[in-house]
Structure formats: structure tokens, C-alpha cells
Structure 1
Amino acid sequence: MRVLLSIKPEHVENIRRGTKTFEFRRRIFARRDVQTVLIYCTRPVSRLIGEFDIADILEDEPEALWASTAGGSGISKDFFDAYFEGRLRGYALQIGALRIYDEPICPSDWFDNFTPPQSYMYVAAAEACCPPPRQLAML
């Protein structure tokens, strides 16, 4: 099972560069069989730009989560604190193998009536197929 996550362009760039090895979330998907994340880069890009395997999912109170992920956060402590303000728990998806597509994909090529999710969206294999191998570049 895969999920599609909406991620802002600056964070996508940090994921690409390898400075962001954790993707933080206030909510996590209920299904535990999710292994891969499709990366939807939000406006102005508005494209599926790649995917990554989930190496691990960390759950903890925000301060403890920061202590264990700061080196791969790709964000400032102030940004982290603002994001998790008022939350008792937080989640960090550890980014495993990253595959960036050679050409970004318009979501409407894969999904009927696509609307970017606020948090996440489950993607069954039949809903979206992987791009042809020539479109995948291992990082």
C-alpha cells in the first residue's frame, strides 16, 4: 500500500538534497501496511515528483521526537515547534530509498478528479501505476 503526501516545494528540495531524511506529520495513517510515499509537490509545482520507501515511523512527544530527528529534519527548531504546537504526539517518517521521477507527473494523469490531500491519501495499486522505468532515477 502507498500513500500520497502533499509536501511544500522547499521541503521537497531538502528531501532531494538529502538534508531532510525525516518527514514530520501531526497525524499518521491508520493502516500499517503502507510502505511507500508518493510525493506530491504543492503549488506552484503541483506535480508528483517521486516516491520514497518508509524506513521507519517514529512516534513520540514533540521534544523527544526532535531530539532523535534534528540531524535529518531539514527544518529549524522554530519551524518544528510551530508545526507541533499544542500537540502531545508527533510522527516522523524516516525516508528510505528515494526515487525521483525524470519528469514530474500531473496528478490528473493518474487520478480522476484529483484534489491534493490536506494530510494524506491512500493509493491502491490499481489507482496509480508506477511510471515506466525510464522515469525513475534512484538517488
Structure 2
Amino acid sequence: MTDANEILISLKPRHAESIFGGTKTVELRKRRLNVEPGCRIWIYATIPTAAILGYARLDRIEAAPPSQLWKKLGSKTGISREEFEAYFQGCKVAYGLVLADVMEMEAPLPLARIREIIDDFHPPQFYCHLNGARRSMRLSHRKYRPIEKQMSLFA
């Protein structure tokens, strides 16, 4: 996997917890991400968690009018129909990122620690591509469920 195939997204803690708990396998977006299936999606949970919790592999992106996307994937979004409709109000197209191979860190990587390693790190509002051309942040000392030997996150 190349660095271009890794992104970081920010989620509210409840949505991140639902992904790692297995009740949410589809992340919703109002705009299409410029990524391809197979991309590794690192998941940052916003305040009060303020930490990277793990990652998932992008299986595919589904795009459809909101009502059609709900019929197809609604039960996998981890939210109610009312929340879904409120989120996509006024949108003609809804995007569902279908996630697979979810890996949760046993110990979250907190924002303060990330900033010790990468001075100018700011969690993305939408998403950001991770680029190996800058300083690398090694996470090999972290354990995952299921365990993965080594990985790196690039900033």
C-alpha cells in the first residue's frame, strides 16, 4: 500500500465507537472523497476523545440520492432515519463509505502525543491524504485487535 492510499478522517466519538464496535460499517459523507477502494482510512475521534483510534479499509463508495442510499445501506450507518434525513437535507447525492477490515488500537493515540511528533498537526475537518514525504510517525509499538505486526502513519 502506498502512502497515497491512506487518509485520515475525523468522526464524532460515538460514530468512531460504533465502527470499532461493529454496529456501523458505513460512514456517510455529503461530498465524494478522492480515494479508491482498498484505501486505508485512519479514524480520529474528535473532542472529548481527541485521539486516533484505529483504521479500516475502504471496500467501496456508494453514491445515490439520499432516499436510495438509505434503502440500501441505512441499517449499516449506525444512525436513525431522522438523523440521516437531517444530515442529507438539501443534498441531491449521498455518499456511503463501505468499511471493511476494521482494526482498533488497544491504546488510542492522543492528539497531544501526535503533536509531539508532528508540530503542525491539525485533525482534518473533512479528510486529508497522508503523505510519506513528511515526517513519519511510527505506531509499531501499539497493538491492534486483531494484532498487526507493524504499520506507520504518515503526516
TM-score of the pair, normalised by structure 2:
0.81
C-alpha contact 1:36 1:54 (8 A) present in aligned 2: yes
* 1:43 alignment partner AA: I
Corresponding residue number in structure 2 for 1:21: 25
C-alpha distance in 2, partners of 1:130/1:100? 16
Question: In the alignment, does 2:54 pair up with 1:47?
Answer: no
Q: Identity, % of aligned pairs? A: 30
C-alpha contact 2:10 2:43 (8 A) present in aligned 1: yes
Corresponding residue number in structure 1 for 2:152: none
Per-residue CA deviation, residues 29-63 of structure 1 (Å, 9 max, x unaligned), is 22437611000000001000100001111011111
Equivalent residue in structure 1 for 2:103, among 99, 107, 113: 99
Corresponding residue number in structure 2 for 1:81: 85
Task: Summarize the Cα distance change of 1:110–1:33 in structure 2 as closer, same or farther, 3 Å threshold.
Answer: farther
Task: Summarize the Cα distance change of 1:60–1:110 in structure 2 as closer, same or farther, 3 Å threshold.
Answer: farther
Task: Summarize the Cα distance change of 1:20–1:77 in structure 2 as closer, same or farther, 3 Å threshold.
Answer: same
Q: CA shift at 1:133, angstroms?
A: 6.2
Q: CA shift at 1:109, angstroms?
A: 4.6
**Bigger RCO of structures 1 and 2 (CA < 8 A, at least 6 apart):** 1
Equivalent residue in structure 2 for 1:122, among 113, 123, 129: 129
Question: In the alignment, does 2:140 pair up with 1:132?
Answer: yes
C-alpha distance in 1, partners of 2:51/2:17? 13
C-alpha contact 1:27 1:119 (8 A) present in aligned 2: no
Q: CA shift at 1:28, angstroms?
A: 2.1
Q: CA shift at 1:73, angstroms?
A: 1.2
RMSD across aligned positions (CA):
2.0
Greater Cα radius of gyration, structure 1 or 2: 2
Equivalent residue in structure 1 for 2:14, among 10, 16, 34: 10
Structure 2 residues without counterparts, runs of 5 or longer = 148-155
C-alpha distance in 1, partners of 2:91/2:37? 25
**Tell me, what secondary structure is at the counterpart of 1:44?**
coil
TM-score of the pair, normalised by structure 1:
0.89
Give the count of matched residue pairs: 139
